[in-house]
Amino acid sequence: MRGLFTPVTKIRRQVFTEVAKFAFERPLDGEDFAYFYESSYRIIPGEVAKYRDSVFKERAIIRERTRLAMGLDMRPVGRHKNLTDEMSRAATGEKVLNLPLINVIPFACEACPTDKFEVTDNCRKCLAHPCTTVCPVNAISMGKTAAVIDHSKCIKCNRCLNACPYHAIVRYGRPCAEACGANAIGSDELGRAEIDQEKCVSCGLCITSCPFAAIADKSEIFQLVTAIRKKEEVFAAVAPSFVGQFGPLATPGKILAGIRALGISKVIEVGWGADVGSLHEAEEFLEQVPEHRDFLGTSCCPSWAMFAEKNFPEISENIAKTHTPMVAAAKRIKKERPNAKVVFIGPCVSKKIEALNDEIRPYVDYVITFEELMGLFSAKRIELNELEEEEFESQSSRDGRNYAMAGGVADAVVNVAKSIAPEREVQVMRADTLKECRKILTLAKAGKAKGCLLEGMACPGGCVGGPGTLLQIARAEKEVKAFADTSPYMTATDNPLEGLT
């Protein structure tokens, strides 16, 4: 559903806008949060349900989404807790996020089937009915108008599906679980989706896959706006996948102007940090592989690194020790402006988890997605296409900007390695989505990746397919490539990597 403006998109954006609007307009010294009692009525007006069977249920879901957008935990379902409890703690410029980051709102979940075969209207009740012939457990019979599947007998072998000449049998599952390459989504006692936080790596693809808007992550937009209003110096580090995300008329210079119009002091490219990472990982690869390590895995995707650690602990030490581009850029900002606040703006939910790490906390104050940034623009009534274009200073190489796409990280590291050791051939294995990452890590565990550079990305297409994006992947790739080609530096070795501020 990425790139489509669905009711789910509308609801998410309305919640972010409501939270951001209150953050911009509330008295800084007050603790009256009655605004949020009314916000669910602004989003869901009237008496007639628009999306579900009850308007009261719709508003209850909006209220839980509001708490999550404030950075707070959901309230327990089985007992009363005031909507505004703990909001005073969230009304600060300091980080308030804690785990779990991604949450299923139980009463928003429709308990979708986890794995089911259905006979569709395509069934012609044909004379041959091969579906009944191939079924090894006699789970299919011919009914009055069509084939009928006895689900208590079905062993889900796919034979009927493959045998039907009319493609009348379909197999489908729970969208969030099918999107989860970490196999972290199961069911609770009522058949609703439930996240196993021990397995979850916060890639966030379940959020974009749920057609009922039942899964949401926590946000830091309230804390960011509060810091801005308290006259903190705030620097934004923007991921290279930002181009094109806000419409065809929103050029990089206009997006820059929009971010600055929020009250942010300066905007820098995270691609600068990508160039730093390329240099470090190329050196690490040349020094370590294969003499000391069988292979080297790239480190820019936190979900990929967490996935390797949780599922392949025996080889996870082969993931590069380099900081992600977000952290490299934030460290440089803090070095030059120790008192500044740093917000990372990108496509990624798992960066919020990374920023909770004790080692990273001093450098990255907030993480928001492009979708959350859109909520901030909406709250401030900022129309990007109406703004004067600001000059976008080139701080990143072409390769650094191409980190946003699957394959771009490995290409950047290989280009640096070739400049250092032209005689060295670097074999590359790539994977985007955690299901594909599992495959290459399985090969690596079996010793079939010796001497290779492994690039892992949790999202389809790489960062351009992240859960916080607004644009279809193919279009986003085109925009990133065009923007990358405008850089005066081709590779990380060409970039002088001078000060950011």
Q: What is the pLDDT of residue 260?
A: 97
Please state, in angstroms and rounded to a whole number, the distance separating the CA atoms of residues 378 and 269: 23
Asked if residues 143 and 204 have their Cβ atoms less than 8 Å apart, the reply is: no
Amino acid at 352: K
Element (H, E) at 246: none
Asked if residues 201 and 182 have their Cβ atoms less than 8 Å apart, the reply is: yes
Residue 499's contacts (CB-CB under 8 Å, 6 or more residues apart) are 332, 336
Give the count of alpha carbons within 13 A of 442, CB side only. Answer: 7
Q: What is the pLDDT of residue 1?
A: 65
CATH architecture of 115-173: 2-Layer Sandwich (3.30)
Q: Do 231-484 and 115-173 fall under one CATH topology?
A: no
What the block records as the tokens of 284 is 């690490």
What the block records as the tokens of 439 is 């495959």
Sign for the pseudo-dihedral over CA of 67, 18, 219, 25: negative
Cβ contacts of 315-323, under 8 Å, gap ≥ 24 = 315/441, 315/444, 315/445, 317/293, 318/293, 318/294, 318/444, 318/454, 320/280, 320/281, 320/284, 320/285, 320/296, 321/284, 322/277, 322/280, 322/281, 322/284, 323/273, 323/276, 323/277, 323/299
What the block records as the tokens of 13 is 């954006």
Q: What is the pLDDT of residue 430?
A: 97
Q: Which of 69, 60, 119 is nearest to 97 (CA)?
A: 69
Cα–chain-centroid distance for residue 16?
Answer: 16
Asked if residues 425 and 272 have their Cβ atoms less than 8 Å apart, the reply is: no
* CATH superfamily of the domain spanning 231-484: Fe-only Hydrogenase (Larger Subunit); Chain L, domain 3 (3.40.950.10)
What the block records as the tokens of 219 is 């946000």
> What number of other Cβ atoms are within 10 A of residue 161's Cβ?
16
- DSSP character at residue 347: S
**What are the C-alpha distances in Å from 403 to residues 276, 299, 477?**
12, 12, 11
Residue-range domain boundaries for the chain: 7-110+184-222, 115-173, 231-484
Please state, in angstroms and rounded to a whole number, the distance separating the CA atoms of residues 194 and 321: 32
Strand duo 341-346 + 366-369: pairing: parallel
Q: Is 310 helix (H, G, I), strand (E, B) or coil?
A: helix
One digit per residue, the tens of pLDDT, for the chain of length 501 reads 677 889 999 999 999 999 999 999 999 887 788 898 899 999 999 999 999 999 999 999 999 999 999 999 999 988 999 999 999 989 988 999 999 999 999 999 999 999 999 999 999 999 999 999 999 999 999 999 999 999 999 999 999 999 999 999 999 999 999 999 999 999 999 999 999 999 999 999 999 999 999 999 999 999 999 999 999 999 999 999 999 999 999 999 999 999 999 999 999 999 999 999 999 999 999 999 999 999 999 999 999 999 999 999 999 999 998 889 999 999 999 999 999 999 999 999 999 999 999 999 999 999 999 999 999 999 999 999 999 999 888 899 999 999 999 999 999 999 999 999 999 999 999 999 999 999 999 999 999 999 999 999 999 999 999 999 999 999 999 999 999 999 999 999 999 988 777
Please state, in angstroms and rounded to a whole number, the distance separating the CA atoms of residues 345 and 459: 17
What the block records as the tokens of 313 is 């602990």
